[in-house]
A = this chain, B = another copy of it.
Amino acid sequence: MAPINKRVTLADVARLAGVSKQTVSRVVNGSQAVTGETRIRVEACIEQLGFRPSLLARQLTTGRSFTLGVVANSGIGYLMSGKAYMDMVREADRMGFSLLVKEVPGHSLEEVTASFDYLIERQVEGVIWAGPEVGDSHAWLDDYDPAQLPMPMVVVNAGLRPGLDTVAFDNLHAGRIATRHLASLGRKHIGHISGPMDRWVSRQRVEGWRQELVALGLEGVHLLVESDWEAGSGGPCLRALQELCPQLDAVFVSSDRTAQGVLFEAHRQGLRVPEDLAVMGIDDLPEAQYFIPPLTSMTQDTPHMAVVALRLLVRRICKLRGEPYPAACATPEDPSLLHTLVVRQSTQGGPF
Protein backbone atom coordinates (compact mmCIF):
# COMPACT_ATOMS: atom_id res chain seq x y z
CA MET A 1 0.00 0.00 0.00
CA ALA A 2 1.15 3.46 -0.75
CA PRO A 3 2.55 5.48 2.11
CA ILE A 4 0.51 8.22 3.65
CA ASN A 5 -0.15 11.51 1.92
CA LYS A 6 1.26 10.49 -1.39
CA ARG A 7 -1.77 10.15 -3.56
CA VAL A 8 -0.89 8.99 -7.02
CA THR A 9 -2.85 10.82 -9.71
CA LEU A 10 -3.79 10.28 -13.31
CA ALA A 11 -1.07 12.73 -14.27
CA ASP A 12 1.59 10.65 -12.52
CA VAL A 13 0.57 7.57 -14.44
CA ALA A 14 0.38 9.52 -17.71
CA ARG A 15 3.87 10.90 -17.18
CA LEU A 16 5.36 7.50 -16.42
CA ALA A 17 3.59 5.85 -19.35
CA GLY A 18 4.40 8.68 -21.70
CA VAL A 19 0.78 9.25 -22.67
CA SER A 20 -1.83 11.88 -21.98
CA LYS A 21 -4.11 11.94 -18.98
CA GLN A 22 -7.22 11.09 -20.91
CA THR A 23 -5.61 8.00 -22.34
CA VAL A 24 -5.06 6.82 -18.82
CA SER A 25 -8.61 7.80 -18.04
CA ARG A 26 -9.80 5.68 -20.94
CA VAL A 27 -7.86 2.68 -19.71
CA VAL A 28 -9.20 3.08 -16.20
CA ASN A 29 -12.75 3.37 -17.45
CA GLY A 30 -12.41 0.50 -19.88
CA SER A 31 -13.07 2.55 -22.97
CA GLN A 32 -12.53 0.62 -26.18
CA ALA A 33 -10.67 3.40 -27.93
CA VAL A 34 -7.19 2.37 -26.78
CA THR A 35 -4.60 0.27 -28.57
CA GLY A 36 -3.84 -3.01 -26.92
CA GLU A 37 -0.21 -2.07 -26.66
CA THR A 38 -0.88 1.29 -25.03
CA ARG A 39 -3.41 -0.22 -22.68
CA ILE A 40 -0.93 -2.80 -21.46
CA ARG A 41 1.76 -0.23 -20.86
CA VAL A 42 -0.62 2.04 -19.01
CA GLU A 43 -1.95 -0.82 -16.94
CA ALA A 44 1.59 -1.73 -15.97
CA CYS A 45 2.24 1.83 -14.83
CA ILE A 46 -1.01 1.88 -12.86
CA GLU A 47 0.03 -1.30 -11.14
CA GLN A 48 3.56 -0.06 -10.53
CA LEU A 49 2.44 3.20 -9.01
CA GLY A 50 -0.46 1.68 -7.17
CA PHE A 51 -2.75 4.23 -8.77
CA ARG A 52 -6.35 4.36 -7.58
CA PRO A 53 -8.58 6.97 -9.13
CA SER A 54 -10.11 9.58 -6.87
CA LEU A 55 -13.83 9.11 -6.94
CA LEU A 56 -14.20 12.59 -5.53
CA ALA A 57 -12.68 14.09 -8.64
CA ARG A 58 -14.65 11.83 -10.88
CA GLN A 59 -17.84 12.71 -9.09
CA LEU A 60 -17.15 16.40 -9.40
CA THR A 61 -16.69 16.23 -13.16
CA THR A 62 -19.47 13.81 -13.92
CA GLY A 63 -21.87 15.46 -11.54
CA ARG A 64 -22.78 12.11 -10.06
CA SER A 65 -22.07 10.90 -6.55
CA PHE A 66 -23.39 7.34 -6.79
CA THR A 67 -24.41 7.80 -3.19
CA LEU A 68 -27.84 7.27 -1.69
CA GLY A 69 -29.02 8.82 1.53
CA VAL A 70 -30.81 6.81 4.18
CA VAL A 71 -32.55 8.85 6.83
CA ALA A 72 -33.34 7.11 10.10
CA ASN A 73 -34.75 8.22 13.43
CA SER A 74 -32.69 8.31 16.54
CA GLY A 75 -35.24 6.30 18.46
CA ILE A 76 -35.78 2.88 17.09
CA GLY A 77 -33.78 1.80 14.11
CA TYR A 78 -35.96 -1.18 13.42
CA LEU A 79 -35.20 -1.04 9.73
CA MET A 80 -31.54 -0.70 10.51
CA SER A 81 -31.24 -4.17 11.96
CA GLY A 82 -27.90 -5.70 11.18
CA LYS A 83 -29.30 -7.87 8.45
CA ALA A 84 -31.53 -5.24 6.87
CA TYR A 85 -28.71 -2.77 6.80
CA MET A 86 -26.14 -5.14 5.35
CA ASP A 87 -28.66 -6.32 2.78
CA MET A 88 -29.15 -2.74 1.68
CA VAL A 89 -25.43 -2.10 1.55
CA ARG A 90 -24.89 -5.19 -0.54
CA GLU A 91 -27.76 -4.47 -2.90
CA ALA A 92 -26.68 -0.85 -3.32
CA ASP A 93 -23.17 -2.03 -4.05
CA ARG A 94 -24.47 -4.36 -6.74
CA MET A 95 -26.18 -1.45 -8.39
CA GLY A 96 -23.10 0.73 -8.08
CA PHE A 97 -24.17 2.93 -5.18
CA SER A 98 -22.87 3.70 -1.71
CA LEU A 99 -25.11 4.39 1.23
CA LEU A 100 -24.91 7.41 3.48
CA VAL A 101 -26.86 7.21 6.71
CA LYS A 102 -28.16 10.35 8.33
CA GLU A 103 -29.81 10.36 11.69
CA VAL A 104 -32.54 12.88 12.19
CA PRO A 105 -32.99 13.66 15.88
CA GLY A 106 -36.58 14.90 15.67
CA HIS A 107 -39.33 15.75 13.22
CA SER A 108 -39.61 19.48 13.21
CA LEU A 109 -39.45 21.11 9.82
CA GLU A 110 -36.09 22.58 10.81
CA GLU A 111 -34.64 19.19 11.61
CA VAL A 112 -36.01 17.63 8.46
CA THR A 113 -34.68 20.49 6.39
CA ALA A 114 -31.29 20.24 8.06
CA SER A 115 -31.13 16.56 7.17
CA PHE A 116 -31.95 17.30 3.59
CA ASP A 117 -29.30 20.02 3.50
CA TYR A 118 -26.80 17.53 4.83
CA LEU A 119 -27.67 15.09 2.08
CA ILE A 120 -27.78 17.72 -0.64
CA GLU A 121 -24.36 19.02 0.33
CA ARG A 122 -23.08 15.50 -0.09
CA GLN A 123 -24.84 15.25 -3.42
CA VAL A 124 -26.80 12.09 -2.76
CA GLU A 125 -28.73 11.04 -5.82
CA GLY A 126 -31.74 9.80 -3.92
CA VAL A 127 -33.15 9.43 -0.43
CA ILE A 128 -34.78 6.62 1.49
CA TRP A 129 -36.85 7.99 4.32
CA ALA A 130 -36.65 5.12 6.74
CA GLY A 131 -37.74 6.59 10.03
CA PRO A 132 -40.86 4.97 11.46
CA GLU A 133 -44.00 7.07 11.24
CA VAL A 134 -44.54 8.30 14.78
CA GLY A 135 -47.16 10.86 15.64
CA ASP A 136 -46.84 13.66 13.12
CA SER A 137 -43.32 12.66 12.16
CA HIS A 138 -44.31 12.48 8.51
CA ALA A 139 -46.55 15.52 8.54
CA TRP A 140 -43.96 17.58 6.73
CA LEU A 141 -44.44 15.27 3.75
CA ASP A 142 -47.97 16.53 3.32
CA ASP A 143 -46.71 20.02 2.62
CA TYR A 144 -43.92 18.95 0.32
CA ASP A 145 -44.38 18.75 -3.38
CA PRO A 146 -42.22 15.71 -4.16
CA ALA A 147 -41.60 17.07 -7.65
CA GLN A 148 -39.83 19.98 -6.01
CA LEU A 149 -37.35 17.80 -4.19
CA PRO A 150 -33.89 17.97 -5.71
CA MET A 151 -33.74 14.18 -5.87
CA PRO A 152 -36.09 11.20 -5.83
CA MET A 153 -37.24 9.86 -2.50
CA VAL A 154 -38.81 6.63 -1.32
CA VAL A 155 -40.61 6.41 2.00
CA VAL A 156 -40.49 3.16 3.93
CA ASN A 157 -43.21 1.65 6.13
CA ALA A 158 -45.40 4.69 6.43
CA GLY A 159 -48.90 5.60 5.31
CA LEU A 160 -49.41 6.14 1.60
CA ARG A 161 -49.43 9.71 0.38
CA PRO A 162 -50.48 10.70 -3.13
CA GLY A 163 -47.60 11.23 -5.50
CA LEU A 164 -45.10 9.78 -3.07
CA ASP A 165 -43.30 6.48 -3.51
CA THR A 166 -43.90 4.31 -0.48
CA VAL A 167 -42.85 0.75 0.26
CA ALA A 168 -44.66 -0.69 3.24
CA PHE A 169 -46.19 -3.74 4.81
CA ASP A 170 -49.93 -4.06 4.73
CA ASN A 171 -50.34 -3.99 8.48
CA LEU A 172 -54.10 -3.72 8.30
CA HIS A 173 -54.12 -7.00 6.45
CA ALA A 174 -51.83 -8.48 9.10
CA GLY A 175 -54.29 -7.49 11.81
CA ARG A 176 -57.15 -9.16 9.99
CA ILE A 177 -55.26 -12.39 9.33
CA ALA A 178 -54.15 -12.67 12.94
CA THR A 179 -57.64 -12.09 14.29
CA ARG A 180 -59.19 -14.52 11.82
CA HIS A 181 -56.72 -17.18 12.90
CA LEU A 182 -57.61 -16.80 16.56
CA ALA A 183 -61.32 -16.79 15.75
CA SER A 184 -60.92 -19.91 13.65
CA LEU A 185 -59.81 -21.69 16.81
CA GLY A 186 -63.14 -20.90 18.38
CA ARG A 187 -61.91 -18.05 20.57
CA LYS A 188 -64.62 -15.57 21.49
CA HIS A 189 -62.79 -12.94 23.52
CA ILE A 190 -59.84 -11.83 21.44
CA GLY A 191 -57.89 -9.00 23.01
CA HIS A 192 -55.19 -6.97 21.29
CA ILE A 193 -51.98 -5.65 22.77
CA SER A 194 -50.99 -2.97 20.32
CA GLY A 195 -47.71 -1.21 19.77
CA PRO A 196 -47.44 2.47 20.68
CA MET A 197 -50.57 4.13 19.35
CA ASP A 198 -48.70 7.07 17.92
CA ARG A 199 -47.25 4.66 15.35
CA TRP A 200 -48.86 4.29 11.99
CA VAL A 201 -47.93 0.61 12.02
CA SER A 202 -49.67 0.07 15.35
CA ARG A 203 -52.83 1.87 14.33
CA GLN A 204 -53.07 -0.12 11.13
CA ARG A 205 -52.86 -3.38 13.03
CA VAL A 206 -55.47 -2.23 15.52
CA GLU A 207 -57.74 -1.30 12.67
CA GLY A 208 -57.29 -4.71 11.05
CA TRP A 209 -58.10 -6.45 14.33
CA ARG A 210 -61.17 -4.29 14.81
CA GLN A 211 -62.44 -4.74 11.27
CA GLU A 212 -62.10 -8.48 11.51
CA LEU A 213 -63.90 -8.66 14.84
CA VAL A 214 -66.77 -6.75 13.32
CA ALA A 215 -66.76 -8.85 10.18
CA LEU A 216 -66.95 -12.01 12.26
CA GLY A 217 -69.63 -10.60 14.51
CA LEU A 218 -67.45 -10.88 17.61
CA GLU A 219 -67.63 -8.69 20.66
CA GLY A 220 -64.56 -7.21 22.21
CA VAL A 221 -63.48 -4.12 20.29
CA HIS A 222 -62.83 -2.56 23.68
CA LEU A 223 -60.24 -5.23 24.58
CA LEU A 224 -57.35 -3.04 23.54
CA VAL A 225 -54.21 -2.23 25.52
CA GLU A 226 -51.13 -0.36 24.37
CA SER A 227 -47.58 -1.70 24.82
CA ASP A 228 -44.19 -0.18 24.17
CA TRP A 229 -43.19 -3.14 22.01
CA GLU A 230 -40.77 -4.42 24.64
CA ALA A 231 -40.97 -7.68 26.55
CA GLY A 232 -41.39 -5.83 29.81
CA SER A 233 -44.85 -4.52 28.95
CA GLY A 234 -46.23 -7.98 28.24
CA GLY A 235 -47.11 -8.70 31.86
CA PRO A 236 -48.83 -5.42 32.70
CA CYS A 237 -50.72 -5.43 29.40
CA LEU A 238 -52.03 -8.96 29.91
CA ARG A 239 -53.22 -8.12 33.40
CA ALA A 240 -54.95 -5.02 32.09
CA LEU A 241 -56.79 -7.08 29.46
CA GLN A 242 -57.80 -9.65 32.05
CA GLU A 243 -59.35 -6.92 34.11
CA LEU A 244 -61.28 -5.66 31.14
CA CYS A 245 -62.51 -9.17 30.40
CA PRO A 246 -62.11 -12.11 32.79
CA GLN A 247 -63.19 -14.55 30.05
CA LEU A 248 -60.31 -13.43 27.81
CA ASP A 249 -59.27 -16.50 25.81
CA ALA A 250 -56.93 -15.11 23.14
CA VAL A 251 -54.45 -12.26 22.71
CA PHE A 252 -53.10 -10.90 19.50
CA VAL A 253 -49.84 -9.17 20.42
CA SER A 254 -48.24 -6.64 18.10
CA SER A 255 -44.69 -7.88 18.61
CA ASP A 256 -43.00 -11.17 19.45
CA ARG A 257 -40.99 -9.55 22.19
CA THR A 258 -44.05 -8.33 24.00
CA ALA A 259 -45.65 -11.73 23.35
CA GLN A 260 -42.72 -13.29 25.19
CA GLY A 261 -43.56 -11.11 28.16
CA VAL A 262 -47.18 -12.25 27.88
CA LEU A 263 -46.13 -15.91 27.91
CA PHE A 264 -43.96 -15.20 30.93
CA GLU A 265 -46.91 -13.65 32.77
CA ALA A 266 -49.24 -16.47 31.76
CA HIS A 267 -46.72 -18.94 33.15
CA ARG A 268 -46.51 -16.98 36.38
CA GLN A 269 -50.29 -17.06 36.71
CA GLY A 270 -50.33 -20.77 36.04
CA LEU A 271 -52.43 -20.32 32.89
CA ARG A 272 -52.20 -23.00 30.25
CA VAL A 273 -51.29 -21.73 26.78
CA PRO A 274 -53.22 -22.19 24.55
CA GLU A 275 -55.92 -24.08 26.50
CA ASP A 276 -56.72 -21.13 28.76
CA LEU A 277 -55.23 -18.41 26.61
CA ALA A 278 -54.09 -18.44 23.00
CA VAL A 279 -51.23 -16.05 22.29
CA MET A 280 -49.76 -14.88 19.03
CA GLY A 281 -47.27 -12.23 17.97
CA ILE A 282 -45.84 -10.50 14.94
CA ASP A 283 -42.25 -10.60 13.62
CA ASP A 284 -41.54 -14.32 13.76
CA LEU A 285 -38.20 -13.86 15.45
CA PRO A 286 -35.87 -16.83 14.99
CA GLU A 287 -36.23 -17.54 18.72
CA ALA A 288 -40.04 -17.58 18.60
CA GLN A 289 -40.09 -21.32 18.04
CA TYR A 290 -38.18 -21.79 21.31
CA PHE A 291 -40.55 -19.77 23.43
CA ILE A 292 -42.44 -21.82 26.00
CA PRO A 293 -44.68 -22.74 24.32
CA PRO A 294 -43.48 -22.03 20.76
CA LEU A 295 -45.14 -18.85 19.52
CA THR A 296 -47.54 -18.47 16.63
CA SER A 297 -46.45 -15.38 14.74
CA MET A 298 -46.35 -13.60 11.41
CA THR A 299 -43.18 -13.21 9.41
CA GLN A 300 -42.25 -9.71 8.42
CA ASP A 301 -39.33 -9.52 6.09
CA THR A 302 -38.01 -6.04 6.80
CA PRO A 303 -34.68 -6.63 5.04
CA HIS A 304 -36.69 -7.39 1.94
CA MET A 305 -38.70 -4.22 2.41
CA ALA A 306 -35.49 -2.23 2.62
CA VAL A 307 -34.14 -3.80 -0.53
CA VAL A 308 -37.39 -3.25 -2.44
CA ALA A 309 -37.30 0.41 -1.43
CA LEU A 310 -33.72 0.67 -2.56
CA ARG A 311 -34.46 -0.84 -5.95
CA LEU A 312 -37.42 1.43 -6.46
CA LEU A 313 -35.25 4.42 -5.66
CA VAL A 314 -32.60 3.40 -8.17
CA ARG A 315 -35.32 2.94 -10.78
CA ARG A 316 -36.47 6.48 -10.16
CA ILE A 317 -32.93 7.79 -10.48
CA CYS A 318 -32.29 5.95 -13.72
CA LYS A 319 -35.59 7.07 -15.16
CA LEU A 320 -34.79 10.66 -14.32
CA ARG A 321 -31.48 10.41 -16.13
CA GLY A 322 -32.88 8.44 -19.03
CA GLU A 323 -30.59 5.55 -18.29
CA PRO A 324 -31.32 1.83 -18.40
CA TYR A 325 -32.10 0.10 -15.13
CA PRO A 326 -29.41 -2.08 -13.54
CA ALA A 327 -30.29 -5.76 -13.70
CA ALA A 328 -31.03 -5.81 -9.98
CA CYS A 329 -33.96 -3.47 -10.37
CA ALA A 330 -35.01 -4.16 -13.93
CA THR A 331 -38.46 -5.45 -13.06
CA PRO A 332 -40.89 -3.44 -10.96
CA GLU A 333 -41.92 -4.89 -7.61
CA ASP A 334 -45.06 -4.59 -5.56
CA PRO A 335 -44.52 -1.86 -2.93
CA SER A 336 -47.18 -3.41 -0.71
CA LEU A 337 -45.73 -6.29 1.30
CA LEU A 338 -47.62 -8.98 3.13
CA HIS A 339 -46.99 -10.82 6.37
CA THR A 340 -47.21 -14.61 6.48
CA LEU A 341 -48.90 -16.53 9.26
CA VAL A 342 -46.78 -19.16 11.05
CA VAL A 343 -48.84 -21.36 13.34
CA ARG A 344 -47.24 -22.93 16.41
CA GLN A 345 -48.25 -24.38 19.76
CA SER A 346 -49.12 -21.09 21.48
CA THR A 347 -52.40 -21.05 19.56
CA GLN A 348 -52.72 -24.50 18.10
CA GLY A 349 -51.59 -26.51 21.12
CA GLY A 350 -49.95 -29.90 20.92
CA PRO A 351 -46.67 -31.30 22.18
CA PHE A 352 -43.29 -29.67 21.62
Contacts and interface: CB of A to CB of B under 8 A. Distances in A.
A103 B117 CA distance: 27
A117 B55 CA distance: 11
B90 A85 contact: no
A24 B234 CA distance: 58
Contacts of A103: 86, 89-90, 93
Contacts of A242: none
A141 B257 CA distance: 40
A311 to B, nearest CB: 17
B86 A80 contact: yes
A129 interface: no
Contact of A150 (B3, B65, B102): B3
A121 B2 contact: no
Count identical subunits in the complex: 2
A4 B123 contact: no
Interface residues of A, number: 64
Interface string A3-40: 11000000000000000000000000000000000000
Nearest to A58: B121
A210 to B, nearest CB: 28
Interface in A132-151: 144, 148-151
Interface stretch (A196-204, A244-252, A285-293): A285-293
A352 B286 contact: no
B121 A53 contact: yes
A108 interface: no
A148 B83 contact: no
A150 B2 CA distance: 6
Q: Which 5 A-B pairs have the closest CB atoms?
A: A77-B82, A264-B290, A80-B82, A231-B290, A231-B287
Given A4-B320, A257-B287, 15 more contacts: A4-B151, A55-B121, A76-B82, A80-B85, A81-B81, A82-B85, A89-B102, A98-B122, A99-B100, A230-B286, A231-B286, A231-B290, A234-B290, A261-B290, A268-B352
